Structure 1
């Protein structure tokens, strides 16, 4: 018995390790799943169907490869897939189902056959509907299909982070309800406004450009230099309004034109020009380039910033909703962010402008803006691999209240000696 015990222990351990070794790959490589992605529109639902080739092969009893799914088996597979998809309104009326041209795409390391999908209601008005889908699962009991809404303007689903998984279909559950008629244009409008706020609020380049334009706002240009202007709250407010309005007009024009498809400019030169706009406005903050130059710079380079805003709308597919509502909402978000920046910084800048410390502060901040802009230009033009100041820029963007508070404290500290002299 004593001789058998070590052998028994070794045998048990060997079986345990083999079982663990065989089981771990199954856990590391879960079975392939299908996906149905839906984009909800006003008169149709678009999207795509993703079918893993390994599971599809089992379901149709054919050896499928990247070549034959787009060749010899192309018509068969498209007819098979279309025959297992249906949609119907609450009153039972069937929707039209159309599959586009298939393609093979690697998703999560697995080849998938991908079909563009279009669902059309009979009356041309998208409302809640029931989706029936049993591709693959009608043959393969263990298969799963994830159904996800990745775009629905009226419900505020506009980007990948907002995507909503409606449910999972399998052999037992082959249909589900799609809430396509819920929400309202107001919710979509509010969401696009939030995207405008998020885009500008998290964009160090847009914020820095605005700051560079605000620096000389409390001053006046004379003899090629900036000089302290006579104290006038009204005058400072008017100049800030002119700057913000000029920028708004500039970016609104190109944003609307690009979103409507009238302009199409590659992103790299646009981003490089945005960096250049910061450099020009930083130089202007040190020495005036022209009388009321900040207004001209805001309007001119606002056109460039509008192209960058439009690229975001294009990347997110926001134009699939109401284009007018999208533009208005997104623009509102941009303007609200600008006004918030002005409200946080302009009072302190106006106070500082009346002290001897403002020259050093203005030149110092403009110098930082110039360094950042040159670094961005080099990176965006492909001349350097990375921006060495990215960490600092991220910290600055993530702590706006701390920065505004620091400027306010500096303004009060610089103003205090002047108040003491006045009391004497």
Structure 2
């Protein structure tokens, strides 16, 4: 049997949400032959008035003053195969401050004794409820239980901050394109460009400094556009942004094959970091944040992104630095860069709607789901290469020159 639903978004000065009423149950309750057309036509005014009259809210700190209840324009939506009349809902406390309140609700329930209403909080920043996966079901309203207590004004900004940081970690950790872009930038970091080719850096310290420059440049780039886009200053369609992200991977892969410009990975990280920031902002935009929680969300989300990047660097960079000083690194660098180039071209074609699907999606998903296995594999390769494929020292004489030439890319 179909049920009603009340979805609540708890904010600082109001509670928003929506009411979902199954048309077939609503017809029984009001004793009218309702259809998808009539609920928005001849019966529209009656049904809106009826629904509003059976919803009330009373806060613990507002005395006997009820909250203002406002319903928006109704629409018909098919939910779980059943037509529902859906109203946007707004509850405003008389003192302008949302605290724990009691929701009284008996739409349909007053006449149909077997009907159930599921009440869910889908957003409450201070309690760390920010997206669908975090939604908390408060309980069920029926004929015997006509009201529920809705906790609000609880928790703290720290919980919201921690939740948004976890969102940043999740977004990058599950984003194959962001991870691949970072990897493409790290591959040439232990090297130096000389004569249009990549050569080993004079020391490990030099490679570490270059990695710091790359990570910092990327952080600055995506942080800038993330803040601007989240504040509404920049607004670009998702498809061009996603296509540009794929292009950024292709450019960084080509740079890993052969240097486009000296220290080019720093410029690539900065420039395309701006594009990646727009993609990060799309997730924040979907949260429907209050202006008061926007700054905290940006800080938390950015922290999550940076922690994930630092984890990737910590897992991969020691092995890359060791590998870069062996004769195997040219082949490793070219192989990984070609894979990155192949994936990025496939993404560009799909995101530009030139192809219907990505043939490498299964492989990409597997790689993202097994980061530790990849890190261990590269570490083992680094140990083997260090022991058996050391580059000959500079100045070892003419006997070593043919071998050095053989391994140069």
Q: 2-side partners of 1:242 and 1:421: how far apart? A: 29
Matched pairs, number: 391
Q: 1-side partners of 2:291 and 2:55: how far apart? A: 24
Given that residues 74 and 88 in structure 2 are in contact (C-alpha distance below 8 angstroms), is that contact kept between their aligned partners in structure 1?
Answer: yes
Q: Which residue of 2 aligns with 1:402?
A: 373
Query: Which of 371, 395, 402 is matched with 2:342 structurally?
Result: 371
Query: Which of 64, 70, 76 is matched with 2:40 structurally?
Result: 70
The change in CA–CA distance for 1:123 and 1:414 in structure 2 (over 3 A counts) is same
Q: Which residue of 2 aligns with 1:160?
A: 132
Given that residues 153 and 321 in structure 1 are in contact (C-alpha distance below 8 angstroms), is that contact kept between their aligned partners in structure 2?
Answer: no
Q: Which residue of 2 aligns with 1:170?
A: 142
Given that residues 326 and 391 in structure 2 are in contact (C-alpha distance below 8 angstroms), is that contact kept between their aligned partners in structure 1?
Answer: no
Describe how 1:118-157 pairs up with structure 2 within 5 A: 118-157=90-129
Q: Which residue of 2 aligns with 1:47?
A: 17
Q: 1:32: Cα distance to partner?
A: 1.4
The change in CA–CA distance for 1:419 and 1:385 in structure 2 (over 3 A counts) is closer
For the pair shown, the structure with the greater C-alpha radius of gyration is 1
Describe how 1:306-325 pairs up with structure 2 within 5 A: 306-318=277-289, 322-325=293-296
Given that residues 120 and 138 in structure 2 are in contact (C-alpha distance below 8 angstroms), is that contact kept between their aligned partners in structure 1?
Answer: yes
- Deviation track 1:308-361 (CA, whole Å, cap 9, x = no partner) reads 111111223345761101111111000000000000000110111111111111
Q: 1-side partners of 2:344 and 2:319: how far apart? A: 24
Describe how 1:252-291 pairs up with structure 2 within 5 A: 252-291=223-262
1:391 pairs with 2:350: no
Q: Which residue of 2 aligns with 1:85?
A: 55
Q: 1:420: Cα distance to partner?
A: 12
Q: 2-side partners of 1:404 and 1:109: how far apart? A: 46
Q: Secondary structure at the match of 1:66?
A: coil
Q: Which residue of 1 aligns with 2:80?
A: 108
Q: 1-side partners of 2:276 and 2:288: how far apart? A: 19
Q: 2-side partners of 1:288 and 1:211: how far apart? A: 16
Q: 1:123: Cα distance to partner?
A: 1.4
Given that residues 146 and 168 in structure 1 are in contact (C-alpha distance below 8 angstroms), is that contact kept between their aligned partners in structure 2?
Answer: yes
Q: 2-side partners of 1:209 and 1:70: how far apart? A: 49
- Deviation track 1:52-96 (CA, whole Å, cap 9, x = no partner) reads 111111111111122222222222111111111010111444211
1:330 pairs with 2:322: no
Unaligned stretches of 5+ residues in structure 1: 1-30
Unaligned stretches of 5+ residues in structure 2: 394-409
The two structures have a TM-score, normalised by structure 1, of 0.90
Q: Secondary structure at the match of 1:297?
A: helix
